[in-house]
Amino acid sequence: MKTRQLGSSGLEVSALGFGCMGLSFGYGPPTDTRTGVDLIRAAVDRGVTFFDTAEVYGPWINEEVVGEALAPVRDRVQIATKFGFNISDDGQNLGGLNSRPERIRQVAEASLKRLRTDRIDLFYQHRVDPAVPMEDVAGAVRDLITEGKVAHFGMSEAGADAIRRAHAVQPVAALQSEYSLFWREPEEAILPLLEDLGIGFVPFSPLGKGFLTGAITAETRFDAGDFRNSVPRFDEANRQANLALVEQLKLIAADKGATPAQIALAWLLDQKPWIVPIPGTTKLHRLEENLGGAEVVLSPSDLAAIEARLGEIDLIGERYPPAAQAMINR
């Protein structure tokens, strides 16, 4: 697995990371701990060095699985986790945001224990908290960096103004936001800003929450606990309309001897050298398929063909329900 630098931060990671959220949160019943640990270690064996988690995934369960899996290889990997939601002392998600400096420190200390480590390589603000000045957030993380408990500061789903304000206090190493052939909004303002400031980009849901794999149809029924049930873009009628994108992606993949998922990941990697997607999965064969995307070579003519064939397809549906939508791009 080749490596990449996340912007000018000096943080070097594998070209593809592993988004661990789905092992225990968001997509139905959690994977049992042993299976999750084995899959994360399988990713390490295949060259992945960058693993993404968050306290809110569970809460807490995901960090615990990641910590157990990576403890034996801690010095070979980089771990990213996140703060910013309101979680009680007994692990209940209370809803809403909380990025007060004292809360940031509390989360850092607890995450270090769950992750079985002495430092967090990349500590993201999960969502911008309008109740807390961005300068105070960045200052709190700067203090943790000074103490050696955090190595790099990141942000997630943040807007341009918040990024600039944070970066002025403590350099932001990476922004994590959704970006894929299924959601290309970051191209408008965010990618140029990141390039200007020397900030890396970590796309989550690089396979469109599974849609770009080709495994989801209009008839697919999600588990009752799967958050896609509430996502407008995954409404049955919208899925039916959006399948036009997948059908074109399948044709492109067939021409390259690859899978739709591999083409989607290869396309992302070709957008900028400081982009590091973090696809997630609960299955070993999907992990291996995803990692194969880093080996797919797309020529300039391939990229132009993808743009021409996919760029004119109008996708239907918002990517979040209203309450979640209100928390992004602040």
**27, 57, 124, 179: the active-site residue:** 57
Q: How many CA atoms lie within 13 A of 197 on its CB side?
A: 24
Straight-line distance from the first to the last Cα atom of the chain, in angstroms, rounded to the nearest whole number: 34
- Report the C-alpha gap between 250 and 256 in whole angstroms: 10
CA distances from 16 to 6, 184, 232, 247, 277 (A): 12, 19, 28, 25, 5
CA distances from 195 to 44, 271, 324 (A): 29, 12, 27
Burial status of residue 193 (CB atoms within 10 A of its CB: 0-12, 13-18, 19 or more) = middle
Alpha helices in the chain (DSSP H): 33-45, 61-70, 101-114, 134-146, 160-169, 190-197, 236-256, 260-271, 284-292, 300-310, 322-325
Q: Pairing relation of β-strands 200-204 and 85-87?
A: unpaired
Residues β-bridged to residue 125: 83, 155
Question: Would residue 320 show up in a list of annotated catalytic residues for this protein?
Answer: no
- Report the C-alpha gap between 60 and 78 in whole angstroms: 19
Burial status of residue 146 (CB atoms within 10 A of its CB: 0-12, 13-18, 19 or more) = exposed
Query: Which residues are catalytic, by number?
Result: 57
